[in-house]
Structure 1
Amino acid sequence: MTEQNIAYFLNGSAFMYFLCTGYFMLKYSARLRIHLIVGIIFCYLAAWNFKDIIYAFQAFHTDEMLNLIVFLDGWSAVSYAVLLFELVSPGWVTLKRMAVLLLPFLCFTALYTVFPSDTLQQIYWGFLILFGLTIIFIAYFKVKKYQQYIYNNFQNIKHMDLSWLKTIFLIAFMSQLLWVLDSFYPSGITDGAYYFSLIIQWHFVAHYCWNHRSITMPGKLELQKEKEMVAKEEETAGFPFAGKLEQLIGEQELYLKPDLTLQDLVQLVGSNRTYLSDYFNKELNTTFYNYINQRRIKEGCIPLFVHHPELTIETIAYQSGFNSISTFRRAFQKETGMTPKEYRKKLDET
């Protein structure tokens, strides 16, 4: 099998992968909204890959068609934008907004079809770079704000956390480099590698989005009101629940609740979310997420390690309030400087 035949095979594989996975996501779109969005993106990418299958026929092997394919390839940038905006701002994606994002790509492609020129190609390349950098810039700050919000408000963040986007960004960056290389120096190897990278990166997306739990952050006006209220309370009373909160968490063993949220503590001390979050950040120099994990390690895990050596590490993690072994291991090592296995070995040696 020649290099080009391998590329054709991977092109067809990518098309079938996106088509089948898109259908599967849409079939279960009633379960989660993100399934609907990812399903639409995958069907869009299936159609986008199909154009390359058509181009594989010799009758379409012309310079004009190749340049048009490059213009159409740029449309894939919209899929990244739609995914990112929906993840950090659930409900943001609408048909109208998707149409607005696609409009400049449609205009460039239509212009090139009617008035093909090298100058227009160069302008289009500049637009793609600007569009990509803008999306990355916006996404970086929105994801950072989103991550800060969930760490300040939730304990069970396994299906909310967006740290997996780092992996997607890395693979997508490598994929786009392959696309640029293939646009200027086309070959079967770069073609095949590009299609393979597409399957890998979007498979990661489908995997993580399958159980993703969308969280809607408070609006600007709501946050502003809470901040103003907090500022007034801090000026007059400081943090009246200081000390009492920590005592109640210990007495009621709230740190053992896997799904404990900041709102649970708000109701416990009769405060508000922003005020309590400020207390963790400013007075305790930590986040709600990290504070509860610290209590789980100190008051849950370590006593179980010491007094119940017969328990497995997994059992200790779950009995201490963790619902993810990976989260438990990270928290344990952060708190003790050792992995759970190293800590158990140290206890056995003493």
Structure 2
Amino acid sequence: IVFHELLFVVPFVLFAITGDIVFYYAEVLEAAIYGIGYAMWTVFAIPKYHAQLKQRFSYTENINLNWLRVIFVSFLFILVLWIVDCMRADYATEALYMTSSLVVWMFLSYFIYRHKSVLDELSDSTCADTPEAAEVTETEMSEIGKRISYLFDKEQIFLNPNLKVSDIAAAIGTNRTYVSAFFNREADCTFYDYVNKLRIEYACKLLVSSDESIVLIAEKSGFNSSQSFIRVFSKIKHTSPTKYRKQQND
């Protein structure tokens, strides 16, 4: 934090001491490079973060960071306004810059607040190769696997639309790192993929054996919305739920 702040404090102090306009323009240029650099960083960081979410959550609604892309685009817009304001200060530009900043920070604060529960869930390591996970013996992992299989096969816990790794860990009396290790190493897939594959298989049975609507089947199968159900179904079965039902009943 200190390093990042010094990047902007030093040119400002040098400008205040020397009065040399070069340091003023250096401050503006540095801010532009800094903002554009972090905008480019999000292109790689957000997908990586979404991959971590799939290690812990069985759903994506309201937990991904797609909203952050919008925030960064807005910040780039504000950065442009700020640079223009620095080069040719006038009342209209200053008013637009201050108003835009206020609106973006309001939205950012709201989304960060809403995202707090997700950050809490990701607070410990999501990597199955952590020292703690590596210490799990094959016997312990086998026992964890048996208990997880019971939850999914007998209790059909996958029908919970808000199912998380922490829920599984609490149900079998272990920690999230061990459960994540099981899915990564033993099940050879993410928690998200494992759960949603079971949900789709359950939905397939309902599609063939009943005339219930797609919306109702999505709800019964553990999906938060019919849109997410159709999206996941199409990805796994390579067809829509409606077409699948028609093909099976013909």
Out of 50, 68, 72, the residue aligned to residue 147 of structure 1 is 50
Match of 1:264 in 2: 167
One-letter identity of the residue aligned with 1:281: N
| CA contact 1:151–1:288 (8 Å) conserved in 2 | yes
Match of 1:319 in 2: 220
Q: Give the fraction of aligned pairs with identical amino acids, expressed as a percent.
A: 26
| CA contact 2:132–2:177 (8 Å) conserved in 1 | no
1:51-90 correspondence runs (5 A)? none
* 1:283 paired to 2:214: no
From the superposition, tell whether residues 138 and 303 of structure 1 become closer, same or farther in structure 2 (CA, over 3 Å). same
CA distance, structure 2, for counterparts of residue 193 and residue 218 of structure 1: 38
Out of 201, 212, 219, the residue aligned to residue 115 of structure 2 is 212
Q: Secondary structure at the match of 1:306?
A: helix
1:78-117 correspondence runs (5 A)? 105=8, 108-109=11-12, 111-112=14-15, 115-117=18-20
Q: Secondary structure at the match of 1:322?
A: coil
| CA contact 1:160–1:213 (8 Å) conserved in 2 | no
TM-score, length of structure 1 as denominator length: 0.54
The alpha carbon displacement at 1:256 in A equals 0.8
| CA contact 2:183–2:191 (8 Å) conserved in 1 | yes
* 1:304 paired to 2:206: yes
TM-score, length of structure 2 as denominator length: 0.71
From the superposition, tell whether residues 235 and 205 of structure 1 become closer, same or farther in structure 2 (CA, over 3 Å). same
Match of 1:332 in 2: 233
Q: Which moved more, 1:203-212 or 1:154-163?
A: 203-212
CA distance, structure 2, for counterparts of residue 129 and residue 286 of structure 1: 41
CA distance, structure 1, for counterparts of residue 146 and residue 7 of structure 2: 57
CA distance, structure 2, for counterparts of residue 254 and residue 137 of structure 1: 40
For residues 263-317 of structure 1, the C-alpha deviation after alignment (integer angstroms, 9 at most, x for no partner) is 2322444443222212212232221122111111111x222222222x3322221
Can you give the 5+ residue segments of structure 2 that lack an aligned partner in the other structure?
Answer: none
For residues 194-216 of structure 1, the C-alpha deviation after alignment (integer angstroms, 9 at most, x for no partner) is 88976886676466456434323
CA distance, structure 2, for counterparts of residue 164 and residue 110 of structure 1: 36
CA distance, structure 1, for counterparts of residue 40 and residue 238 of structure 2: 35
Match of 2:30 in 1: 127
One-letter identity of the residue aligned with 1:306: V
Can you give the 5+ residue segments of structure 1 that lack an aligned partner in the other structure?
Answer: 1-96
The alpha carbon displacement at 1:185 in A equals 8.9
| CA contact 2:81–2:97 (8 Å) conserved in 1 | yes
| Number of residue pairs aligned between Structure 1 and Structure 2 | 248
CA distance, structure 2, for counterparts of residue 320 and residue 347 of structure 1: 20
For residues 37-85 of structure 1, the C-alpha deviation after alignment (integer angstroms, 9 at most, x for no partner) is xxxxxxxxxxxxxxxxxxxxxxxxxxxxxxxxxxxxxxxxxxxxxxxxx
Match of 2:153 in 1: 250
CA distance, structure 2, for counterparts of residue 219 and residue 271 of structure 1: 14
From the superposition, tell whether residues 130 and 236 of structure 1 become closer, same or farther in structure 2 (CA, over 3 Å). farther
One-letter identity of the residue aligned with 2:233: F
Out of 65, 68, 71, the residue aligned to residue 162 of structure 1 is 65
CA distance, structure 1, for counterparts of residue 107 and residue 240 of structure 2: 28
For residues 198-252 of structure 1, the C-alpha deviation after alignment (integer angstroms, 9 at most, x for no partner) is 68866764664564343233357xx89x932422324666534446533431211
